[in-house]
Every structure is written in structure tokens, then in C-alpha cells.
Amino acid sequence: MHGPTPRPASFSAPGPLRGTIAVPGDKSISHRSLMLSALAVGESRVEGLLEGEDVLATAAAMRAMGATIERGADDVWRIHGVGVGGLLQPEVALDMGNSGTSTRLLMGLIASHAITATFIGDASLSKRPMNRVIEPLSLMGAEVTPSPGGRLPLMLRGLSPAVPIEYRLPVASAQVKSAVLLAGLNTPGITRVIEPIATRDHSERMLRGFGADLSVEQAGDGARIISIRGEAELRPQHIVVPGDPSSAAFPVVAALLVPGSEVTVTNVGLNPTRAALFDVLRMMGGDIEFTNRREVGGEPVADIVVRHSLLKGIETPVETVASMVDEYPVLFVAAALAEGRTVARGLEELRVKESDRIAVMAEGLRAIGARVEELEDGLIIDGTGGDPLAGGATIAARLDHRIAMSFAVAGLVAKAPVVIDDMSPVATSFPGFTALMTGLGAEAA
Ligand SMILES: O=C(O)C1=C[C@@H](OP(=O)(O)O)[C@@H](O)[C@H](O)C1
Ligand SMILES: C=C(OP(=O)(O)O)C(=O)O
């Protein structure tokens, strides 16, 4: 995990950003590819895996439970799995670092195995709510002993055979949905998750790809009903991970904001349950084109060409919050430079990410001269109409990669430096961020 020494930095743009880049592999798909490969018998190969700290935490945990996971000299990861139901008792605590996805999905996997695991994490992860997964997994028979408030560190004792459930998600969360589906994989009978609001569907796509019997139906009220038949046998796969749209968001917004810029980001995953940011930026007047549309590893992919644009404030759609949930911090930076008012609501979930992203963005944007009002469930931002922000402040990244990268982008359009107190959390999801940005013409100090 990233070390204890903070790495401060500030970013500026002496001229337009120009060039063609590829961002690292999708974090959500990378986690799932390791987990499912580790449950298939035989060798799976994964190309384009995100080699970020969050995904490496998942790899270490799967190794601790018996899988063989190796990165070849050809950059391809090779995984030999243990078979569904075959996870071994880990001898050490599972260190989840900064990663909510690792924690919640692995809690699901372990819940239907007769093993006991202790989950630990960093200061940020140890503040995040786990009751949302503890509740359904307890219904399936797991016994969980969390720290006060349903937090890490926690101990989870799985049950095999576990009890299949039908569970209606009380929060729009792909992590909770996936935890229940992964628990269902080794549970006799049918486990069902009802999802009133669509969240990222990588688990469903990949479970099917590995041969699990999974179906999705639409209920009368528009909810998705996802059913998985347990005690499945998974077949090893060859997975090609597309570029992460949540990472592409940073150079895309940077190119929209820095005058004269034109940037192409190649091979970006555009799964409709992930890609709403680009639609919202277009609604704001952003010049964003998709070229070379294709399918990679069962996911829609395209190259994104983006040119500097004067953005206009909007009311962001509430229906697609889940499809761009991690992109709001950088969208707020875009809104701070737009003409007029942006109102973004329905964002309660942002308060329980790596940091309270509503409060931290409001405070940081104000410190660099933006006009921001904080609401319980979002922000109201009155933009500058394209004028640079004042800058001249140090922002605490609070162990939150997306906060660090959002203020790196803000620094590109500020008169005085925007110092991020610690860029090291960026290694959780976007190793190489600084090099990619400087390659486009930004300066990092
Ligand atoms: O399932 C996933 O891979 C993720 C789901 C989202 O979290 P929630 O399920 O908590 O909304 C997202 O914020 C996270 O970065 C990755
Ligand atoms: C919320 C995030 O990740 P996680 O929940 O996996 O920590 C994120 O990457 O923005």
C-alpha cells in the first residue's frame, strides 16, 4: 500500500493539452476478473488488468485463499483458480487497503464458504459503512463481527451450505449487489437481487461469461431482477479489460477546460451503466466525440476525442447518478468553470466514499475561489464562465484518489498554484496519472 510519506504536488497548464493517451484498465472489471478467475478450475488469462493498489489488494486476498496469480513477462496475468466452493482458510488478515470494492465483494465470496476471515483496511476504508453488506450476508447465514458502527476491522465467518435469499437493494450499490450474487455462486438454489435503480452490471456480464446460470428480468416497476443459480462450475476465461471511464474522466475534463486543447483517450469502456459523465458533459456543451466504437471482452468501448469548450451550467439528471457516481468530483470542477449555475443533487452516496466527497469538494473548491453551496445531497455551483479560478490554496486529499486528481485538474485552470497535500492515493486506481498528464503538456511540480 502507499507509504506513510505524503507526496504533495501541484499541476498547471502553460499551454493547450494535446495528444493521444490510453488510461489504465477498468478497476471494477479488474477486481471481478481476479475474483472469478480464482474460482474457475484451470488457467484464466487477463490482459489490461489495472495494476493499481486496490486491485493488487484483491489479488493478495485471492492468493491468501488458495489461488495462484502471476503476472507474465508479457504483462498478461495468469490465474489458476480453486473452483467454486474451494476457497481456503486465509492464514492472515485480509488487508483491503483503501478499497471498498475489494472488501464488500470478498465479504460476499467468503460468506458462502466455511471459512473465517478478518478484514482490515486503511484509515479511510475503516470509516466506511459495511452494514449494507453485513445485512444480506447475515440473512444468508454468515456471522459478522464488525467494529462499532458496522466498520472495519471486522471478522466474517461464512456458512456452507449458505441460505439462498431474495434481496431488494435498499441503496443503489453495485458493491452490495455483487456481494450477494458472489455469495449466491456457492449457495444451493437461486439467489435473487432486486435492483430498483440500475448500477454497473460488470458482475452480471462476467458471471455469465464464466458460465454461471444468471438471468436478468425487468419487473413491472422497472426494477431489475437478477437471479443466479448457485453451486455453479466456472470455466476459465481470457479477459481483455477496457480502459477505465472513471480514469478517462480526468484528462477529458482537463481538455474541455484548458483553452486550445484537443485530446484523444483511446480504448475507454463505455458500458451504459458507467458512461453517463460523458453525456452530462455533452449536455453542458462539451465537444466530445466517440470514434472507433467496438466491443472488447463483452463491454462496449470507443476512443474519445475531446476539444476545449465553454461549458454551460445545468441541472444534472438524477436518474443516472449511479452511472457516474465516481465522476462527480471532477464534474464539480468542470461546473466551477462553466457559464451559469449547476445544480447536482441525489448524491447522498458520495458522503460515504473514500472521503465525504460532497463536503471535501465544496470546501476545496471554495478555497480556490469557486462559488459553491453545499446541500445535504449535492452541490450548487455558480461557474466562472470560463475564467480561471483564483487558486492559491493547499487541498487535503484525505486518502481519496478522486479528490487528489480532481484538484490536479482544477490547478490547470487556476491563476495561483493548487497544491494537493498528497498525491499518493492516486496509485489506488490510476498509476501513471502524473506522467500521462505531463505527456499532454501539463506541468507538475
Ligand atoms: O462495484 C464496483 O466496482 C464499484 C461500485 C461503486 O460503489 P457502490 O457500490 O458503493 O456505489 C463505485 O463507487 C466503486 O468505485 C466501484
Ligand atoms: C468509491 C471508489 O472505490 P471503492 O469503493 O472501491 O473504494 C472509487 O474508486 O471512487
Domains along the chain with CATH numbers: 9-25+242-444 (3.65.10.10), 27-232 (3.65.10.10)
pLDDT digits (tens, 9 = 90+) for 318-362: 999 999 999 999 999 999 999 999 999 999 999 999 999 999 999
pLDDT digits (tens, 9 = 90+) for 58-108: 999 999 999 999 999 999 999 999 999 999 999 999 999 999 999 999 999
The pLDDT value given to residue 390: 98
Ligand 2 pocket test: pick from 27, 176, 202 the residue with the most ligand atoms within 8 Å of its Cβ. Answer: 27
Q: Is 27 annotated as a binding residue?
A: yes
Q: Nearest bound ligand to CA 324?
A: 1
Tell which residue, 334, 201, 211, 351, has the closest CA to residue 277.
334
Q: Is 402 annotated as a binding residue?
A: yes
Q: Is 192 annotated as a binding residue?
A: no
Q: Is 100 annotated as a binding residue?
A: yes
- Is the pLDDT score of 28 beyond 70? yes
- Is the pLDDT score of 135 beyond 90? yes
Catalytic residue among 95, 244, 303, 326: 326
* Ligand 1 neighbourhood includes 174 CB (under 6 angstroms): yes
Distance CA 113, CA 137 (A): 12
Q: Establish whether 75 is a catalytic residue.
A: no
- The atom number, within ligand 1, closest to the CA of 173 reads 9
pLDDT digits (tens, 9 = 90+) for 379-431: 999 999 999 999 999 999 999 999 999 999 999 999 999 999 999 999 999 99
The complex's ipTM works out to: 0.99
Reported confidence tier of residue 1, pLDDT bands at 50, 70, 90: low
Mean residue pLDDT of the chain comes to 97
Average pLDDT over residues 121-126: 98
In the reported structure, the alpha carbon of residue 387 is separated from the centroid of ligand 2 by a whole-number distance in angstroms of 31
The pLDDT value given to residue 296: 86
The pLDDT value given to residue 20: 98
* Ligand 1 neighbourhood includes 37 CB (under 6 angstroms): no
Distance CA 119, CA 96 (A): 7
Reported confidence tier of residue 232, pLDDT bands at 50, 70, 90: confident
Ligand 1 atom 12, closest CA: 326
Tell which residue, 247, 243, 217, 216, has the closest CA to residue 300.
243
In the reported structure, the alpha carbon of residue 401 is separated from the centroid of ligand 2 by a whole-number distance in angstroms of 9
- Is the pLDDT score of 2 beyond 70? no
The pLDDT value given to residue 3: 63
Distance CA 32, CA 54 (A): 12
- Rounded to the nearest 5 degrees, what angle is found at the Cα of 420, between the Cα atoms of 306 and 255? 10
DSSP codes of every residue in 355-374: S-HHHHHHHHHHHTT-EEEE
The pLDDT value given to residue 297: 80
Average pLDDT over residues 150-172: 98
